[in-house]
């Protein structure tokens, strides 16, 4: 959704009907008039006009003039001036984001205009209140005030006021994402402003540009925004320029012209800062943060979003808060902080849903319909009056005929002269018509050419999107069987780990496992190339020493070097080699270069990895080289090895030729890092690959993992066979009731694999698609759900959403499995409410560990609920839906605490669930059945009363719903380990 841009235009387009265009000559003239004006009503009028002239250039001076006008109008008892002064001062507070003060001042002005029946003043009051309500997110109330303003402007015959109100109504429809409705009102505003209010025309054009940006017609958006900017520049409106520059910057970002976007938004930020224009500053900061997200610099974006956050939170500006929450959610997700990402995404969803719920939309539609109905009624009344005039006219026609005959004689004589003049005009008209026709043909030709260019651009974009979807879907299809292959082989390797008699089988399984991983690596490389082509591969940069990363990656090849008797050495400079890099992508570069070196180096050869700082043309670089003692590369091949899918001749017949993907990917990743890669090779003398990466200054160092690189999803399987020998211990098998697990997976083999993996620890239910899985979850209320993402009938995302928004099932932990490993897909999964997310192929033991952790976390919450005397719903729930449920349940129990006859059936009826559903829900959330839950809540309340000494033991027991003192004492002792009297005495004793 578009953010605060159109909202900001409202203050420029609808300050009040008495404000005029801010031009330097008018300011000078007005200052001269103020110098010679006396202390009378004329001075009040001039001061209020000065507010409009200085509003966008010098807000503080505008505030001073508004305060002077208010004081003088009060002294003179000038009612209209008092009302206008309140409005002028309110507009200043609006621009500072102080919306409640703006509303209060408008309401102060209202009775003065009502008493005077000043429709222009009333229109301004209603409009200003609407602006502030819209900024606070109350769109239905804002719309109601806009239509009040529209009626007042129409009564006053104020075309300028009507035009401004149309513009603001259009903004509401824009927020509802009804873009065609919004365009209708914006164009109405533009046309009615013609020759009346050039500033409103400029603002309407800017809003039209924003709509085309939202409709993804970026060329039209830029055209209209530039037109609007030029008009604001001619009117000397710096606030309008700030708004247009922010919108233009976002549009340039959408078409990937990032440098231009950065320059434009920085210009807006500087201007807004000079003006102390808070909404403009917020908009620029958010745009700069979004540009960094789009260019893979998520870590840098926090500077801008964190500056904007307190500003939008302080003024409660809804549109700005929506953009800030969305930006922070994306930034945290791109930097791997998924818990924080989920936190901000939840805030965004809650705020967005509150803005336009169904009730709000109905209110807005009702206000519009009421206005249209009033207009129709007025037209009917006007038609009746016309009919009365027609009857009067028919009565006078007879008398008029006689006079007409007398006049006709005079007309005939003049008609002959008119005919001659008409012939001359007709000839001239034909010439003009021919010229107009030629211009129309030329215009149509230009429009046709523009349509063709736009169509071609859309077709190219659709082709790129189709290609990306193809690679994504193919990757998913490959990853599913690889999950089975690698997962099964991983289990086999663990099973063969300590059996000496199975060495041969272990070797065979290891070969299969290694080649399955190689296949996964090739799939990932193809997907990376697809992302590079579509511009979707973004770097997540961190500035750090690259030596730890080089050591770690090289160590992964030590086993291969030992097997083939190759001398693998690493020679790194003692200095810190600081480079701004994406650790995961740079790892791919080094891995591919080493794989290539091992492929072309004979057994007994030598491979060397070096890294050192160097100077090239007064610029500092880190040079990383990989040398091998192989056969080298022929001169005619050196220019081709980086070409996609090029396969050079292999010097060894026993070596399988490559795919031609790895080195092509290496070159593009290096260039994304603003570096270069070259080859220095001679046939028979080995090959040397040289990578140059720009050095980063020490002041930009950012935190990184101890190994110098983040954990890559692709390494979950590749390294864990040796590193994860310590498996997660299964849940306590002594339990008579094992946790109930629901597996939702459309692939029979994957479903069987997960079932066999989990059935020793869980009771297992299975479903082949999301719809059947949802029904099973609602009926059985499992303790855990593991679901695939891509499935027929209902996918995993929809299933997760249904589970987490259904009060019966919202407490169930949900694990999402998918082959879609991109950052945005991971974020989408977490945003939907999934508790955990695993990328295929996954390590079987990792799935066991994560599942056990989710169950253990729920069990710990159960124990805490049983143990602690005072506990809030939010402390034992994971979702807002569960928190609301528990709050309602606790309220019902509290209400019926003293009712000893309150049964589990009545409990379920009041909650709105069946007895069995309530039982399962409470067991899932608290570990306690419905009847036990009521008893436990009574005992906790009794303990609180005993601590507070609010009565005797018997009074407290009967007060919380126990009919028997002995039964109360027995239950209390079982829960707290002592009798009620001992508990009360202990509470009296000071610690």
Can you read off the two tokens belonging to residue 575? 């200095």
Tokens representing 930 are 């419905």
What pLDDT, on a 0 to 100 scale, did the predictor assign at position 122? 87
**Between helices 238-254 and 278-294, what is the axis angle to 10°?**
10
Distance CA 784, CA 731 (A): 14
Question: 642-688: per-residue pLDDT in tens?
Answer: 776 555 554 443 444 444 556 777 888 898 888 999 888 767 678 89
C-alpha span between 206 and 264 (Å, rounded): 15
Taking the C-alpha atoms of residue 190 and residue 200, their distance in angstroms, rounded to an integer, is 7
Strand, helix or coil at 784?
Answer: strand
pLDDT confidence tier of residue 579, bands split at 50, 70 and 90: very high
CB 237 within 8 A of CB 12: yes
Contacts of residue 632, defined as CB under 8 A and 6 or more positions apart, other chains included, come to 681, 682, 683, 684, 685, 686, 687
In this structure, what is the dihedral angle of CA atoms 331, 335, 337, 342, given to the nearest 10 degrees?
A: 30
DSSP state of 612: E
Task: Evaluate if residue 988 carries a pLDDT over 70.
Answer: no
pLDDT exceeds cutoff 90 at 489? no
Give the start-end residues of each E strand in 371-482: none
More confident residue, 811 or 12: 811
Note the pLDDT of residue 895.
77
Q: pLDDT tens, 940-978?
A: 888 878 877 777 878 888 788 887 888 888 888 888 888
pLDDT number for residue 127: 83
Mean pLDDT, range 270-284, rounded to an integer = 87
pLDDT for residue 712 is more than 60: no
The larger pLDDT score, comparing residue 390 to residue 861, is at: 861
How far apart, in whole angstroms, are the C-alpha atoms of residue 633 and residue 683? Answer: 5
Q: What is the DSSP string of 729-740?
A: PPS-TT-SSPPE
Write out the DSSP string of 423-450. Answer: HHHHHHHHHHHHHHHHHHHHHHHHHHHH
Residue 11 scores a pLDDT above 50:
no
pLDDT at 629 over 80: yes
Yes or no: say if 771 and 777 are a contact pair by the CB < 8 Å rule: no
Residue 315 has pLDDT above 70, yes or no: no
Beta-bridged to residue 693, according to DSSP, are: 622
Write b or e for each residue in 504-516: b if 16 or more Cβ atoms lie within 10 A of its Cβ, otherwise e: eebeebeebbeeb
Residue 826 above 60 pLDDT?
no
Which residue is it, tokens 């034992």? 876
Is the pLDDT assigned to residue 13 strictly greater than 80?
Answer: no
Q: How many C-beta atoms surround the C-beta of residue 900 within 10 A?
A: 13
Model confidence at 451, pLDDT cuts 50, 70, 90, reads: low
More confident residue, 325 or 480: 325
**Section 352-370 average pLDDT:** 58
Which of 87-96, 210-219, 830-839 holds the top average pLDDT?
A: 210-219
Helix (H) or strand (E) holding 589: helix 583-600
Q: Average pLDDT, stretch 434-447?
A: 63
Token pair for 696: 């980063």
Looking at residue 990, its pLDDT comes to 52
Q: Per the structure block, which two tokens stand in for 102?
A: 């703006």
On the question of pLDDT at 724 being above 50, the answer is no
Among the listed ranges 166-180, 608-622, 692-706, which one has the minimum average pLDDT value? 692-706
Spatial CB neighbours of 304, under 8 Å, sequence gap ≥ 6: 285, 286, 288, 289, 292
Q: How confident is the model at residue 265 (pLDDT cuts 50, 70, 90)?
A: very high
SS3 at position 836: strand
- Inter-CA distances, 198 with 56, 182, 232, 479, Å: 15, 20, 9, 60
Q: pLDDT band for position 555 (50/70/90)?
A: confident
Q: Are 608 and 571 in contact (CB under 8 A)?
A: yes
What is the CA 915 to chain-centroid distance, rounded? 40
Q: What is the reported pLDDT for 163?
A: 82
Contact 586, 622 (CB under 8 A): no
Tell me if residue 567 falls in helix, strand or coil: strand
Percent of the chain clearing pLDDT 70 (strictly above): 67
Residue 728 near residue 459, CB atoms below 8 Å: no
Q: Determine the Cα–Cα distance for residues 363 and 37; give it in Å rounded to an integer.
A: 48
Instruction: Let me know: does 70 contact 82? Beta carbons within 8 Å.
Output: yes
Both structure tokens of 514: 């290694």
Percent of the chain with pLDDT over 90: 10
User: 359 versus 582: which is more confidently predicted?
Assistant: 582
For residues 476-481, give the mean pLDDT.
Answer: 62
**pLDDT level of residue 200 (50, 70, 90 thresholds):** confident
Q: Which residue has the tokens 């805490």?
A: 864
**pLDDT computed for residue 411 by the predictor:** 54
Q: Which two tokens stand for residue 688?
A: 């040397």
Both structure tokens of 892: 């019902």
CB 644 within 8 A of CB 663: no
| Cβ–Cβ under 8 Å, residues 634 and 695 | no
Of 735, 781, 724, 796, the residue nearest 762 (C-alpha): 735
Residue 623 reports pLDDT greater than 60: yes
pLDDT of residue 703: 41
H/E element, 610: strand 606-616
Q: What pairs with residue 619 in β-bridges?
A: 616
**In degrees rounded to 5, what are phi and psi of residue 636?**
-75, -10
The predicted model gives 432-446 an average pLDDT of 63
Shortest CA distance to 477 belongs to which of 840, 19, 5, 832? 840
With beta carbons less than 8 A apart as the criterion, state whether 125 and 110 touch: yes
Residues written for the chain: 991
Angstrom distance (rounded) from CA 402 to CA 388: 24
CA distance linking residue 935 with residue 298, whole number of Å: 51
Name the residue among 914, 961, 964, 969 with its Cα closest to residue 938: 961
CB burial of residue 307 (10 Å; 0-12, 13-18, 19+) = middle
Tens-place pLDDT, residues 771-791: 999 999 988 888 899 998 878
Maximum average pLDDT range among 9-18, 368-377, 695-704: 368-377
Q: How far is CA 109 from CA 65, 112, 579, in A?
A: 17, 6, 61
Whether the pLDDT of residue 568 is over 50: the answer is: yes
Q: Pairing mode, if any, of strands 676-681 and 740-744?
A: unpaired
Element (H, E) at 125: helix 119-135
Contact between 200 and 189 (Cβ < 8 Å):
yes
- How many C-beta atoms lie closer than 10 Å to residue 776's C-beta? 17
* Mean of pLDDT values over 458-478: 62
Report the alpha-carbon distance of residue 10 to residue 143 in Å, rounded: 13
Neighbours of 87 (CB within 10 A): 30
Name the one residue in this structure whose structure tokens are 């001061």: 47
pLDDT at 372 > cutoff 70: no
């Amino acid at each position: 959704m578009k953010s605060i841009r159109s909202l900001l235009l409202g203050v420029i387009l609808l300050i009040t009907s008495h404000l005029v265009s801010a031009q330097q000559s008018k300011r000078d003239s007005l200052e001269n008039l103020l110098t010679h004006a006396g202390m009378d009503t004329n001075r009040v009028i001039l001061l209020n006009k000065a507010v409009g002239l200085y509003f966008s250039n010098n807000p503080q001076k505008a505030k001073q003039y508004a305060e002077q006008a208010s004081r003088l109008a009060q002294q003179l008892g000038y009612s209209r001036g008092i009302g206008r002064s309140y409005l002028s001062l309110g507009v200043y507070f609006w621009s500072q984001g102080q919306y409640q003060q703006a509303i209060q001042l408008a309401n102060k002005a209202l009775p003065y205009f009502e008493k005077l029946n000043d429709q222009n003043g009333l229109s301004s009051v209603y409009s200003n209140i609407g602006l502030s309500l819209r900024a606070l997110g109350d769109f239905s109330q804002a719309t109601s005030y806009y239509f009040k303003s529209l009626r007042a402007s129409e009564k006053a015959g104020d075309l300028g006021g009507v035009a401004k109100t149309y513009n603001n109504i259009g903004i509401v429809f824009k927020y509802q994402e009804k873009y065609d409705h919004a365009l209708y009102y914006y164009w109405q505003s533009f046309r009615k402003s013609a020759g009346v209010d050039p500033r409103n025309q400029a603002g309407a054009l800017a809003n039209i540009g924003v709509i085309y940006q939202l409709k993804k017609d970026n060329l039209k958006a830029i055209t209209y925004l530039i037109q609007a900017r030029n008009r604001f520049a001619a009117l000397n409106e710096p606030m309008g320029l700030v708004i247009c520059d922010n919108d233009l910057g976002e549009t340039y970002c959408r078409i990937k012209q990032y440098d231009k976007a950065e320059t434009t938004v920085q210009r807006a930020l500087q201007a807004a800062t000079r003006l102390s224009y808070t909404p403009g500053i917020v908009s620029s900061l958010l745009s700069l943060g979004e540009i960094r997200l789009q260019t893979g610099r998520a870590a840098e974006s926090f500077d801008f979003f964190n500056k904007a956050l307190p500003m939008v939170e302080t003024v409660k500006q809804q549109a700005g808060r929506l953009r800030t929450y969305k930006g922070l959610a994306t930034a945290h997700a791109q930097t791997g902080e998924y818990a924080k990402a989920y936190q901000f995404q939840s805030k965004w969803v809650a705020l967005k849903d509150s803005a336009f719920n169904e009730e709000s939309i109905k209110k807005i539609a009702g206000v519009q319909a009421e206005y249209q109905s009033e207009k129709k009624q007025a037209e009917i009344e006007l038609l009746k009056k016309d009919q009365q005039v027609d009857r009067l006219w028919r009565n006078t026609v007879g008398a008029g005929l006689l006079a007409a005959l007398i006049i006709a004689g005079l007309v005939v004589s003049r008609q002959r002269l008119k005919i001659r003049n008409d012939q001359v005009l007709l000839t001239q008209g034909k010439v003009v018509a021919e010229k107009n026709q030629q211009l129309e043909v030329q215009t149509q030709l230009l429009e046709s050419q523009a349509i063709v260019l736009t169509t071609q651009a859309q077709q190219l974009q659709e082709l790129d999107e189709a290609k990306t979807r193809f690679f994504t879907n193919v990757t998913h299809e490959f990853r599913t069987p690889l999950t089975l292959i690698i997962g099964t082989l991983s289990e086999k390797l663990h099973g063969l780990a300590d059996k000496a008699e199975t060495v041969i089988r272990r070797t065979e399984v290891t070969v299969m496992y290694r080649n399955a991983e190689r296949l996964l690596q090739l799939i990932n490389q193809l997907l990376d190339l697809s992302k590079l082509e579509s511009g979707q591969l973004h770097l997540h940069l961190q500035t750090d020493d690259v030596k730890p990363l080089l050591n770690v990656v090289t160590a992964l090849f030590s086993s291969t070097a030992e097997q083939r008797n190759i001398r693998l050495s690493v020679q790194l400079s003692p200095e810190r080699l600081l480079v701004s890099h994406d650790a995961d992508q740079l790892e791919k570069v080094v891995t591919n270069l080493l794989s290539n070196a091992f492929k072309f180096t004979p057994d007994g050869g030598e491979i060397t990895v070096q890294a050192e700082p160097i100077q090239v043309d007064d610029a500092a670089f880190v040079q990383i080289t990989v040398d091998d003692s192989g056969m080298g590369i022929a001169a005619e091949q050196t220019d081709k090895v980086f070409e996609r899918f090029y396969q050079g001749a292999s010097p060894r017949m026993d070596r399988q030729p490559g795919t031609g993907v790895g080195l092509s990917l290496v070159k593009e990743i290096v260039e994304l890092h603003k570096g270069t890669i070259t080859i220095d090779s001679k046939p028979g003398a080995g090959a040397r690959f040289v990578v140059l990466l720009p050095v980063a200054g020490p002041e930009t160092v950012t935190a990184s993992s101890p190994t110098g690189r983040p954990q890559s999803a692709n390494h979950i399987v590749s390294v864990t066979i040796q590193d994860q020998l310590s498996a997660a211990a299964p849940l306590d098998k002594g339990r008579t009731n094992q946790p109930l697990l629901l597996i939702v997976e459309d692939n029979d083999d994957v479903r069987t694999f997960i079932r066999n993996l989990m059935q020793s620890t869980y009771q297992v239910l299975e479903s082949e698609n999301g719809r059947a899985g949802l029904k099973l979850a609602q009926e059985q209320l499992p303790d855990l759900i593991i679901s695939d993402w891509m499935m027929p009938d209902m996918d995993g995302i929809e299933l997760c959403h249904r589970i987490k928004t259904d009060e019966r099932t919202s407490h169930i932990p949900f694990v999402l499995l998918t082959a879609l490993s991109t950052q945005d897909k991971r974020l989408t999964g977490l945003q939907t409410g999934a508790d955990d997310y695993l990328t295929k192929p996954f390590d079987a033991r990792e799935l066991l560990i994560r599942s056990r952790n989710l169950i253990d976390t729920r069990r710990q919450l159960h124990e805490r609920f049983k143990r602690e005397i005072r506990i809030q719903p939010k402390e034992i729930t994971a979702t807002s839906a569960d928190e609301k449920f528990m709050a309602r349940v606790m309220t019902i129990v509290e209400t019926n605490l003293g009712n000893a006859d309150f049964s589990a059936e009545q409990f379920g009826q009041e909650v709105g669930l069946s007895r069995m559903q309530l039982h399962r829900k409470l067991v899932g959330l608290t570990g306690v059945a419905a009847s036990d839950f009521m008893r436990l809540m009574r005992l906790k309340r009794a303990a609180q009363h005993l601590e507070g000494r609010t009565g005797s033991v018997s009074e407290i027991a009967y007060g919380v719903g126990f009919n028997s003192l002995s039964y109360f004492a027995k239950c209390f002792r079982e829960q707290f380990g002592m009798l009620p009297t001992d508990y009360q005495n202990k509470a009296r004793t000071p610690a």
